């Protein structure tokens, strides 16, 4: 019988973070090696003692098993593995991250490998089809939500923001060591920083596999969702607080100025309210939301405020002249439209880390 040699796949290092894995991890690493992957690294992220037998079996197949003495989170495990790859495999294209629960098939990992070799400067993502019937509700809902947040927050239109199957070029992988987040939010932050560092993204379809309704997932819906959306939620809360302050001050100035001015009270009230709310918003966004030490942030921010204030005042004034009523509701409508534009500019330019 003629034996066929297995293709040697050594341009990328496969990285698998694992927390309390079962036999699916053993099957995965064995099949990856049989597929031809030369370098496979597993990170034991502080798993329970009963999982040691799984890691002992895995150790027979993989390049190395890195160990966290206590559980630190998926993001921390990925960073530990990435650091090891950067230090020990500087000549490779990069690292392919794979989940330990059996959701990623070796043939799909190989597809990412081939796409990564063809486009070594791209972040290649294996994207699942969430329209198929067997997708668990929490996974479908979570993906739709994060897709929306990613589109609004970073302008990235992605099919699968939560996929753990990614081929990361080595240059970008090294930069990821400084990206915030030690749990599931790290993978979302990774995508956000692609835009900032101008890393192109390629999305390729992979098979959609869920074992036992994804029961083995360690994702905590409430806590990890808050961590994933933390920056966006903080920005939203800051904006809502500033918005309420702005509207409150505006309404107060309308009452105070209306007896003294006929139509220009709308313009004056808009300007005064925006000055007060923008001072509040700048401090909160810089110190709390973006935690930024960016230079010249203040002149940039107030340049934006000036432009936004001019647009807001101009549009509100024109609409008021057209309708001659509903000054407050007109302002709510106009500033809601300007909200999204302001978020993009602050995140990508003013408070850019």
Q: What is the pLDDT of residues 111-165, one digit of tens each?
A: 999 999 999 999 999 998 766 655 665 556 666 666 676 676 667 788 888 889 9
What local confidence, expressed as pLDDT, does residue 232 receive? 60
3-state secondary structure of 41: strand
Whether 38 contacts 121, CB under 8 Å? no
Alpha helices in 6-105 (DSSP H): 23-35, 52-58, 74-88
Q: What is the pTM of this model?
A: 0.66
Do 130 and 206 meet the contact criterion of CB atoms below 8 Å apart? no
Is pLDDT above 60 for 30? yes
Q: Are 162 and 146 in contact (CB under 8 A)?
A: yes
| 309 has a pLDDT exceeding 50 | yes
Provide the pLDDT for residue 174.
92
Residue-level pLDDT at 348 = 67
- For residue 251, the Cα-to-chain-centroid distance in whole angstroms is 37
Lowest mean pLDDT among 62-76, 81-95, 194-208: 194-208
Look at the chain and count its residues: 353
Q: HEC string of 276-320?
A: HHHHHHHHHHHHHHCCCCCCCHHHHHHHHHHHHHHHHHHHHHHHH
């Amino acid at each position: 019988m003629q034996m066929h040699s297995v293709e040697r796949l050594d341009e990328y290092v496969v990285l698998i973070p694992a927390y309390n894995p079962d036999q699916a991890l053993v099957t995965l690493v064995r099949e990856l090696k049989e597929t031809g992957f030369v370098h496979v690294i597993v990170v034991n992220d502080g798993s329970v003692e009963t999982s040691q037998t799984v890691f002992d079996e895995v150790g027979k197949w993989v390049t190395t098993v890195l160990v966290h003495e206590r559980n630190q989170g998926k993001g921390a495990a990925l960073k530990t593995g990435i650091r090891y790859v950067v230090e020990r495999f500087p000549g490779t294209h990069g690292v392919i991250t794979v989940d330990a629960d059996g959701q990623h098939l070796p043939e799909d990992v190989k597809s990412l490998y081939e796409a990564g070799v063809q486009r070594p400067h791209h972040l290649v993502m294996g994207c699942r089809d969430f329209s198929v019937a067997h997708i668990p509700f929490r996974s479908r809902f979570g993906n739709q939500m994060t897709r929306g947040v990613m589109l609004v927050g970073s302008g990235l239109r992605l099919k699968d923001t939560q996929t753990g199957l990614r081929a990361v070029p080595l240059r970008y992988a090294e930069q990821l060591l400084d990206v915030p987040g030690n749990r599931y939010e790290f993978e979302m932050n990774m995508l956000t920083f692609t835009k900032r560092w101008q890393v192109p993204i390629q999305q390729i379809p992979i098979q959609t596999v869920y074992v036992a309704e994804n029961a083995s997932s360690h994702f905590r819906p409430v806590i990890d969702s808050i961590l994933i959306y933390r920056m966006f939620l903080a920005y939203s809360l800051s904006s809502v607080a500033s918005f309420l302050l702005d509207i409150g001050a505006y309404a107060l100035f309308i009452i105070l100025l209306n007896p003294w001015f006929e139509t220009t009270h709308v313009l004056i009230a808009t300007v005064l309210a925006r000055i007060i709310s923008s001072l509040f918003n700048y401090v909160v966004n810089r110190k709390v939301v973006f935690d930024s030490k960016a230079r010249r942030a203040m002149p940039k921010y107030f340049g934006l405020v000036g432009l936004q204030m001019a647009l807001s005042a101009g549009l509100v004034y024109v609409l008021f002249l057209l309708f001659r009523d509903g000054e407050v509701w007109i302002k709510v409508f106009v500033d809601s439209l300007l909200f999204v534009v302001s978020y993009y500019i602050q995140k990508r330019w003013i408070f850019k880390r």
